[in-house]
Amino acid sequence: MALIEFTDKGLFCRAGNFYIDPWRPVDKAIITHAHSDHARWGSNAYLSHKYTVPLMQLRMGPQAYQGVEWGETIRINDVNVTLFPAGHMIGSSQIRVECKGEVWVISGDYKLEDDGISTAFEPVKCHTFISESTFGLPIYKWKPQQEIFLNIQDWVLRNKDAGKSSIILAYSLGKAQRVLSCLESVSDRILAHGAIYNSQEALKAAGWNLPAVERVSFDTPKEFLKGAVVIAPPSADASPWIRRFGTFSIGVCSGWMQVRGNMRRRNADAGFALSDHADWPGLLEAVKLTGAEKVFVTHGFQAAFSRYLNEIGIEAAEVKTEFGDEDEGPITAPIEEEKLTTDE
């Protein structure tokens, strides 16, 4: 029996009788991070990194949560469980599972670049690695965060000169906090949609030192919105919420913006390819750093990425899970996959 089994409820460790990021209610769930496709409601007990606990509380209310530190080993039956930073968002962790000398690492979502907010990704040696593959195609290759921040700042200043507000669409947990960190130097009026404001407040209450944002409400005077910077979740551009801003320009922050057609599809004025997931070189590097003999590839471009790994001599197989890519905004790129992964 494999140490981790792929079941209809999620990744299951029989020896420890726990699931990792289950998509159905279970008795004991170990959670990689607080995004809604990984931390789901209904289980009896949750174990995660301690930074993930207040974020789960915000989304799922009071439950039986246990928070642990990175590097702290928890023994469950015959199994040692240790969490290591995944660099994806605050609290995001890879789960190392060890039983009788056999080691598996479940990546959850991850990225290799240190964004200054999520604790930096730490490679963990293992026999078997379960990797995400959200951007597992060679066309996905990110610019350094600093360069993207300069582009965003430049765009905000140009909008301000033209008397327009800048509406930045970014996922409320993770991406929004990253983007906010580059805006203080170019604007003294940073506003946020309620969803982002609530995440920001929960993080601040948990002790995070994050920039102040003002919540956009029905009472916010129109004059105040002029030339302001507004952070909103990716779905906001399709809602009446956005009409109050008068003249504005929309910028979308998502890895999908790397593909030009996606910007047109989104009706965005500007696209910034800023992602909380590893790009193609990042995924490859992560796999190599684990030294794994066997890799299971989940959510994303599983077929393309696992085939490539097999070609370079790393045994890999694709596995179907129910994790999504909602944290990158509502664009998926099925068309690109078809077009770009056919044999050359």
Q: At its nearest, how many Å lie between Zn ion and the CB of residue 204? A: 21
Q: Which two tokens stand for residue 65?
A: 């949560």
Q: At its nearest, how many Å lie between Zn ion and the CB of residue 272? A: 18
Half-sphere exposure of 252 (CA within 13 A, CB side): 26
* CB nearer to Zn ion: pick between 243 and 320: 320
Buried b / exposed e over 309-322, threshold 16 CB at 10 Å, is beeeebebebeebb
122 contacts 85 by C-beta, under 8 angstroms: yes
Q: At its nearest, how many Å lie between Zn ion and the CB of residue 328? A: 8
Q: At its nearest, how many Å lie between Zn ion and the CB of residue 250? A: 23
| Cα–Cα dist 323/167, whole Å | 28
Q: Which residues contact 90 (CB under 8 A, 6 or more apart)?
A: 34, 51, 52, 55, 117, 118, 173, 174, 177, 203, 208
* CB nearer to Zn ion: pick between 118 and 165: 118
* CB nearer to Zn ion: pick between 38 and 266: 38
* CB nearer to Zn ion: pick between 251 and 255: 255
Question: Where along the sequence are the contacts to Zn ion (CB under 5 A)?
Answer: 35, 109, 323, 327
Q: Which two tokens stand for residue 91?
A: 């609290």
111 contacts 278 by C-beta, under 8 angstroms: yes
* CB nearer to Zn ion: pick between 35 and 96: 35
Q: At its nearest, how many Å lie between Zn ion and the CB of residue 195? A: 16
